[in-house]
């Protein structure tokens, strides 16, 4: 009888402890979002390349959640210098004259490198070397610590982000490879050869080629379950594809000014060319029916897969509702003439949705700023970068779970900057405040990711 009673008491005690731990976790999460959102500040460290930064990507939370009690953050940056660097934002390393990373800018001082305003230059955890020309894009796998790269050498590569080893090489494009994204075992790429290709990441074989556009492809993005892929191009078109069948499900004109009748003309370009005896390139025909339609510099799916966000070379961002069948409706347009300028370059935009009370769109600008637009009101929530980036910002990325932004500057700047609220543990590190302890090392993945 006593044994049964003791067992019951033990069970109740364990249950109470679990409930208490769950309650503490909930209070901790709630406390982290107490009060109004704090403004983003420039963190006291930065990364650097030899040439312009073309892409920055923060590793998905699922790859870093076991690191530093979930506060760990890893960033990959790609550059025209032909390298990708992996940055650990909690690393205590500093770049020095004795660094073995030959791709780093030489240190003239011989001591730890600090900028004029006292910011610390991070030393990369890993540098990926192998492409013979500049790298245009980098993308993380969500399943393993691997990144894919797209290069001007007409190839893509899959890398181990921990060791820096090249795992697979993908060749088949006839021109510069400009963009890439990974979903599980599929790799998508867009090129100046006007095609989108799908690759098997295990074998390196091309499984599908989509002759999708009449100008260079500027962006590709999978939806959340990998069933659809959206592509964007300098031709002013956004197309959504069924990944399994390669069928074009939807065509969107970037400006939203074209009637369905005109949209249907694009399906009969070849026939019209024959009938009208048109000569010259495809672009000459597109200039006829694309008048006033701005080139699309970037496109990405929203986290819920119901919308796509497109940036265009008229200094605007447009949000499109693609969740409803047959819908091509532009629901919101974002612009800020004084701070958001995008007329020349392909500038990336992303969704910042780590807090329910600060749902934003993050984008770069040719002015050197990083802008946060409130998704619902379309107003500029905050402008970052005054006096930080000294050239156009083409590369930005927002963390999927934390309020953390990365940005990269062009040729006159060449730095990777990081932004977070004032009270972020990443910012506290600079003032000597304690960071959460790291999880036990359980292999090479835990070492970096």
- Average pLDDT along the chain: 81
Rg (CA), the chain: 24
Query: What are the tens digits of pLDDT across the range 67-102?
Result: 666 567 999 999 999 999 999 998 744 443 334 444
Q: Give residue 101's domain range.
A: 38-81+84-125+356-449
pLDDT bracket for residue 43 (50, 70, 90) = very high
Closest CA to 35 of 419, 351, 352, 355: 355
Residues 206, 198 contacting (CB under 8 angstroms): yes
- Is residue 234 one of the residues assigned to a domain? no
- Is residue 427 one of the residues assigned to a domain? yes
CA 250 to CA 258: how far, in whole Å?
14
Instruction: Give me the helices (H) in 48-126, please.
Output: 61-64
**CA dihedral over 51, 182, 355, 18, signed as positive or negative:** negative
What is the pLDDT at residue 35? 75
Report how far apart the first and last C-alpha atoms of the chain are (Å, whole number): 51
Helix, strand or coil, per DSSP, at residue 16: helix
Residues 328, 372 contacting (CB under 8 angstroms): no
Mean pLDDT to the nearest integer, 21-36: 52
CA 194 to CA 175: how far, in whole Å?
9
pLDDT bracket for residue 445 (50, 70, 90) = very low
Question: Containing H/E element for 178?
Answer: strand 177-183
Phi, psi of 23, deg, nearest 5: -65, -40
What is the pLDDT at residue 256? 62
pLDDT of residue 147 exceeding 80: yes
Question: Cα torsion at 387, 393, 395, 396 (round to 10°)?
Answer: 50
The model's pTM: 0.79
What is the pLDDT at residue 81? 98
Strand 126-128, strand 84-88: pairing: antiparallel
- Is residue 95 one of the residues assigned to a domain? yes
Mean pLDDT to the nearest integer, 13-17: 57
Distances from the Cα of 75 to the Cα of 16, 124, 232, 241, 243, angstroms: 40, 10, 25, 29, 28
- Is residue 107 one of the residues assigned to a domain? yes
CA 390 to CA 264: how far, in whole Å?
44
pLDDT bracket for residue 39 (50, 70, 90) = very high
- Residues 6 or more apart whose Cβ sits within 8 Å of residue 274: none
What is the pLDDT at residue 20? 56
**pLDDT over 70 percentage in the chain:** 71
170, burial (CB in 10 Å: exposed 0-12, middle 13-18, buried 19+): buried
Out of 55-64, 179-188, 280-289, 392-401, least confident range:
280-289
- Is residue 407 one of the residues assigned to a domain? yes
Domain total in the chain: 1
pLDDT bracket for residue 436 (50, 70, 90) = very low
pLDDT of residue 394 exceeding 50: yes
- Is residue 446 one of the residues assigned to a domain? yes
- Is residue 25 one of the residues assigned to a domain? no
CA 389 to CA 413: how far, in whole Å?
6
What is the pLDDT at residue 33? 59
What is the pLDDT at residue 212? 83
Question: Containing H/E element for 151?
Answer: strand 146-151
DSSP 435: P
pLDDT of residue 58 exceeding 60: yes
- Is residue 302 one of the residues assigned to a domain? no
What is the pLDDT at residue 426? 85
> What are the start-end ranges of the E strands in 21-81?
40-48, 53-58, 74-79
pLDDT of residue 290 exceeding 60: no
Query: What are the tens digits of pLDDT across the range 308-325?
Result: 999 999 999 999 999 866
CA 259 to CA 238: how far, in whole Å?
15
Query: What are the tens digits of pLDDT across the range 398-433?
Result: 999 999 999 999 999 999 999 999 988 888 544 433
Distances from the Cα of 429 to the Cα of 86, 91, 137, angstroms: 19, 10, 30
Strand 120-121, strand 40-48: pairing: parallel
Closest CA to 311 of 258, 384, 365, 263: 365
CA 220 to CA 235: how far, in whole Å?
14
Query: What are the tens digits of pLDDT across the range 237-284?
Result: 999 999 999 999 999 998 865 433 333 344 434 433 333 333 333 333
Q: Which residues pair with 55 in a beta bridge?
A: 78
Question: Between 141 and 432, where is the model more confident?
Answer: 141
What is the pLDDT at residue 286? 39
Residues 346, 339 contacting (CB under 8 angstroms): no
């Amino acid at each position: 009888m006593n044994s049964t009673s003791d067992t019951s008491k033990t069970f109740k005690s364990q249950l109470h402890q679990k409930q208490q731990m769950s309650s503490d976790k909930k209070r901790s999460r709630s406390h982290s979002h107490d009060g109004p959102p704090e403004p983003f500040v420039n963190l006291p460290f930065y990364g650097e390349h030899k040439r312009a930064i073309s892409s920055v990507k923060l590793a998905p939370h699922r790859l870093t959640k076991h690191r530093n009690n979930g506060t760990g953050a890893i960033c990959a940056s790609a550059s025209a210098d032909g390298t990708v660097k992996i940055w650990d934002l909690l690393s205590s390393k500093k770049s020095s004259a004795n660094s073995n990373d030959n791709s780093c800018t030489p240190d003239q001082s011989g001591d730890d490198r600090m900028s004029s305003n006292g910011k610390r230059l991070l030393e990369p955890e890993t540098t990926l070397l192998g492409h013979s020309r500049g790298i245009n894009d980098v993308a993380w796998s969500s399943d393993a610590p691997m990144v894919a790269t797209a290069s001007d050498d007409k190839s893509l590569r899959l890398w181990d982000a921990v060791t820096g080893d090249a795992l697979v090489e993908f060749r088949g494009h006839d021109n510069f490879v400009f963009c890439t994204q990974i979903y599980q075992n599929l790799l998508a790429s867009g090129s100046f050869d006007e095609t989108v290709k799908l690759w098997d990441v295990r074998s390196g074989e091309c499984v599908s080629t989509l002759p999708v556009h009449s100008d260079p492809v500027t962006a590709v993005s999978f939806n959340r379950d990998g069933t659809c892929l959206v592509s964007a191009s300098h031709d002013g078109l956004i197309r959504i594809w069924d990944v399994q069948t390669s069928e074009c499900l939807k065509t969107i004109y970037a400006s939203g000014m074209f009637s369905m009748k005109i949209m249907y003309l694009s399906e009969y370009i070849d026939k019209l060319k024959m009938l009208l005896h048109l000569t010259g390139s495809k672009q000459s025909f597109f200039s006829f029916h694309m008048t006033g339609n701005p080139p699309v510099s970037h496109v990405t799916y929203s986290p819920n897969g119901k919308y796509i966000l497109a940036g265009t070379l008229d200094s605007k961002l447009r949000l499109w509702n693609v969740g409803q069948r047959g819908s091509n409706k532009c629901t919101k347009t974002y612009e800020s003439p004084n701070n958001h300028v995008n007329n020349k370059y392909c500038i990336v935009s992303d969704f910042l949705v780590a807090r329910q009370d600060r749902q934003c769109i993050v984008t770069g600008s040719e002015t050197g700023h990083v802008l946060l637009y409130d998704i619902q009101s379309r107003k500029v929530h905050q402008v970052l970068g005054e006096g930080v980036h000294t050239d156009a910002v083409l590369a930005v990325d927002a963390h999927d779970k934390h309020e953390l932004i990365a940005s990269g500057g062009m040729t006159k700047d060449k730095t990777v900057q990081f932004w977070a609220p004032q009270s972020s543990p990443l910012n506290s590190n600079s003032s000597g405040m304690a960071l959460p302890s790291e999880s036990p090392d359980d292999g090479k993945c835990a070492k970096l990711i």
